[in-house]
Structure 1
């Protein structure tokens, strides 16, 4: 064994990425341990979200994140290569570009689609198991509608507008639900009657989503049918031709789009390696410590694992939660192996499954497997999004969850979100430009009117009201009803007035009722802030921050009881401007992209993913 212990994580899927991050944290102070991640792609793909790209709900960038971003600031070497074979005896990975040595290997190569020997399926069907697959399907569907909009032949048009999804598991149902929503938009865009579009979801099993209880299956079927999808169970696909599928060797359904989501098997590199035991369509049999059977230097994570936990009848499922939990144990046990400590057995506790049927509806079965909690609709969709955010925080801190929320709730097209369209509209900021300039001018005007007095005599306090010494007035707690120099005062609730009085007594008044030094500093800062933020709003510089700052200033003036009635509209205008109207006809249009570029290149910002 070499002096430096070489850990190689093969595969940057869910399990591989999480394992590598955890190992990097454990060995960050160890110079005698190196960690390398090898993958054929320079990015990590969110496989569970591919259907959103394939059916036009999320942008293509939403399901991938560059590995350099994930491992920024961490002691992890990234290698992009295609590994064709593993020599377990010599501890070598044979890649397309070179051969790599290892002392400890983590297998996280994931899975690939399996076709169960169905004639023509691999050649003629589109698969949905990679970023490239999702993009290919998306453009294929768009092109089908484009061609159909110009096709005059009835039979050709019918095939172009027919879509078959083979497989009624998670991926198949989610793809069918997304497509059922998307075709409404495509039909409108290309002048096609929605009734012409046919979508089929078929499987040889008796029911869809067999891992769910019947009540949730029924709700899922009802939702799919509501989206115009025909469900064909007990349909054994015996052949997939170029433009049709053959069911039970007797019935044919024509379609120019056939998507295969009927199952997965172990990755090619695992199946090509003879010196490792595989079962159940290419999964690696492991011991209780998640080491490949008979190999103490090879650990397995995610979909590659074949392990039946104690007391269970079935092996661990091939889903993200298994990848998360197995990565924890593999990182712990690999560290324990290097440190010659005792290993821990794998005792996973899975919390359930969630299946979305389009962007607005989902079903969820969570909790105790014997008595699970069942949810559907809005709450199930919320659970799914919440679980995704938790996972993305582990992957890339603030960066990925922020982008996920933007893509799922704010930039989602056609109200295809469980929140509907209330948050899904992009504001046309150019309509806010006149308001931005006007609000900025009002603050600048106020500041300029006061700055002379502040410079002439800083101790002359005129923004802060004199301390109330009349006991009856102080105890009343009523809103200020006196007139200010600008007119009638904007009312303040008694409880807010009492909090404001307490704060001002603490900071601005001496026991004798005179003003403190803090009062002078505060008034001076407020006057110059009015000028600075007024200018910023007028020229559109740091507009969101400036709008928020002026909103806070308005609150302070109001709470002090000195705000005139006319200030009421300030609050509304400042909230409207927080969206950032400086991106239109403002300095922010040029400044913010430049600052974002500089910010993202700061080492600690990259490490902690503090960017959007």
Structure 2
């Protein structure tokens, strides 16, 4: 067969998905070489850029390093800017190098469409890259800052007027983020919030036209609640540095227009000389092949293919599904199998309006408010787990819930408030001391006779055995009458468990019971010692909670055990990094762990 070179151009949603799928299919085939080329060294979560523009999350929340994604995968990651493609010689050409291919997957993304509106491209902001989102964020902040010292009322009003053109998903999400951020900016710069004017302008009769009218109505209601004016059937015909003019004659005096009114295929892809469909998108057949070259596959926003007379939408799911079709057909072509036509299967649409509200349609289910926002997060987590596993999901959760600013998450700021770990040191030492004391008090009895069982209640069958005599002597940690109550169904489960492992048919204790008791006493001393030393504190705290639960379910736990349970949960957060050995040990272990093949291959680490 000879070695086959598969090159993917573009590390967007479709490009990254293609590379991951190709790795899975050909990771054991040395005759297949997969290369992913992008001008950036990171994958950008384009659908979350509005959160950066609205100052909800930082850049680490929308950028994933490609080496992190493909560090232990059979994918060569190349950071380079491709200037041209020679389809006849099958080469991608940059300023310094050429890349040969046998199969090419083209996924260079989209860019804003300005529809020939006078001044729109020159005098508006767009939000199709991280840099553009940061530019919007900086501009809004500086505009509020400058407006706070502007004494000319007309200039001040113009500065505090923000217009978003286009009421699709991106436009609605962007204006929603700005509407939330304006509250903080108004307080910070002592500006009356009523002076801030937010306008969402849409040329069609309604916003979010892909959704049902009931969801559109809820979205409009939420926008109005946030102080956003919605203008539908309002075509923008002219843009200047100081104004936006509508077809009906209205003029908005503003220094800020954010253009989200439409997208088209990237100009790079449109100028490659391939047959085009509409809006600069490359015409493909049902197999996602360019109609000009069988070995050139086009995915995502670059691809133009009509299903039932409707083009595939420029959304993330379409990018992923066209990538799957392209990869399946490349594999089929290599193996000499029949190609498979594209068949879309879109699961729904979701749009957030600020950080706490969303509207969504998932199949036939319509959601709004908290549950729609929750599902939006779950969909993001599902996608991110496929991209970067535990590592990226953990990062997403931290950015969205634990380091969030101004309570801007569906759970408010309840998870984001933090206290210095040094306040936990006394509690850590106290719990550690209690466990060590408990263990040392029991240790002499264990050393004297491991078969002397006092941590496990005797079997009901053992009315006349030595075991019941031991129990009556009061060697256990708590008297039976003073133990924490245990629900009946748990008692039944524990009785069944102990009858299998700890009691003989005669009601005597088994050898396993002696081993378990010895292990528990040793564990109490070890866990207590680790907590005192502040070493592996999180693990010791988790074990502390588990031991407390085990003692409680056995019916042996005194009310004092509640301290162990509650304090153990409080200490899981890492109190050992303050005046503990974890301060020195954990960075060393983390550095070692992140270099292991297992951690890198399975993304099982935290940055």
Instruction: Please give the secondary structure, in 1, of the residue aligned with 2:346.
Output: coil
> CA–CA distance in 2 between the matches of 1:236 and 1:88?
40
Q: 2:462·2:506 contact (CA, 8 Å) conserved in 1? A: no
Tell me the residue number matched to 2:526: 532
Deviates more, 1:571-580 or 1:335-344: 571-580
The match for 2:241 is: 242
Equivalent residue number for residue 468 of structure 2: none
Distance 1:596 1:581 in 2: 17
Name the counterpart of 2:487. Answer: 493
- Alignment of 1:201 onto 2:200: yes
Alignment of 1:449-460 (within 5 A): 449-460=441-452
Among 314, 321, 337, the alignment partner of 2:333 is 337
What does residue 218 of structure 1 align with? Answer: 217
Q: 2:430 aligns with which of 438, 441, 448?
A: 438
Aligned counterpart, 1:55? 54
Partner of residue 469, structure 2: none
Aligned to 1:34: 33
User: Which stretch shows the higher mean deviation, 517-526 or 257-266?
Assistant: 517-526
Name the stretch that deviates more: 436-445 or 400-409: 400-409
SS in 1 for 2:311: coil
Q: Label 1:483 to 1:587 Cα distance change in 2 as closer, same or farther (>3 A).
A: closer
Closer/same/farther in 2, CA of residues 349 and 561 from structure 1, 3 Å limit: closer
**Count of aligned pairs between the two proteins:** 597
Which range moved further: 483-492 or 387-396? 483-492
User: 1:249 offset after TM fit, Å?
Assistant: 8.0
2:420 and 2:306 mapped to 1: Cα distance? Answer: 55
Is the 2:10–2:107 contact (alpha carbons within 8 Å) kept by the matching residues of 1? yes
Q: CA deviation at 1:492?
A: 2.4
Change (3 A) 1:485 1:585: closer
Hey, what's the Cα distance between the residues in 2 that align with 1:588 and 1:155? Answer: 59
Shift of 1:42: 0.5
User: What is the Cα deviation at residue 290 of structure 1?
Assistant: 0.8
Distance 2:152 2:421 in 1: 46
Displacement of 1:174 in angstroms is 0.4
Following TM superposition, the consecutive aligned residue runs of length 4 or more in structure 1 with deviations greater than 6 angstroms are none
Say if 1:512 and 1:366 are closer, same or farther in 2 by CA, change over 3 A.
Answer: closer
- The equivalent position to 2:297 in structure 1, one of 286, 296, 299, is 299
Deviation string, structure 1 residues 390-439 (Cα, Å, up to 9, x no partner): 22222122222222223223332233222334444335443333222211
Q: In the superposition, relative to structure 1, how do residues 347 and 141 fare at CA in structure 2: closer, same or farther (>3 Å)?
A: same
1:476 counterpart residue number: none
Q: 2:344 aligns with which of 345, 348, 351?
A: 348
Residue of structure 1 equivalent to 2:109:
110
Mapped partners of 1:140, 1:458: distance in 2: 73
Taking structure 1 as reference, are residues 471 and 462 closer, same or farther at Cα in structure 2, changes over 3 Å only? Answer: closer
SS of corresponding position for 1:398: helix
Q: What is the 5 A alignment of 1:266-345?
A: 266-274=265-273, 276-309=274-307, 312-345=308-341
Q: How far apart are the structure 2 equivalents of 1:238 and 1:184?
A: 31
Once the two structures are superposed, residues 521-555 of structure 1 have per-residue CA deviations (whole angstroms, 9 ceiling, x without a partner) of 22222122112211222233222221111111111
1:150 is paired with a residue of what secondary structure? coil
Structure 2: unaligned runs, 5 residues or longer: 465-471
Distance 1:217 1:17 in 2: 32
**Stretch moving more, 204-213 or 585-594:** 585-594
Deviates more, 1:40-49 or 1:213-222: 213-222
The aligned counterpart of 1:516 is 510
The residue that corresponds to 1:465 in the other structure is 457
Q: Classify 1:466/1:379 alpha carbon distance in 2 versus 1 (closer, same or farther; 3 Å).
A: closer
Partner SS for 2:251: strand
Contact 2:483 2:555 in 1 (8 A): yes
Specify whether residues 345 and 485 from structure 1 end up closer, same or farther in structure 2 by C-alpha distance, changes over 3 A only: closer
- Quick check: 1:85–1:272 contact (8 Å CA) kept in 2? no
Secondary structure at the counterpart of residue 560 of structure 2: helix
Q: Distance in 2 between matches of 1:485 and 1:433?
A: 26
Q: 2:353 — aligned with what?
A: 357
Partner of 2:384: 392
Matches within 5 A, 1:399-410: 399-410=391-402
Instruction: After TM superposition, give the deviation of residue 280 of structure 1 in Å.
Output: 1.3
Which sits farther off after the overlay, 187-196 or 58-67?
187-196
Q: Is the 8 A contact 1:144 1:161 kept in 2?
A: yes
Q: Does 1:261 align with 2:255?
A: no
2:552 aligns with 558
Tell me, in whole angstroms, the C-alpha distance in 1 between the residues paired with 2:126 and 2:412.
30
> Could you say which residue in structure 1 is the equivalent of 2:467?
none
Distance in 1, matches of 2:569 and 2:477, equals 26
- Aligned mates of 2:500, 2:298 — CA distance in 1: 62
Question: What is the distance in 1 between the residues matched to 2:446 and 2:241?
Answer: 82
Post-superposition offset of 1:121: 2.2
Residue 297 of structure 1, CA deviation? 0.6
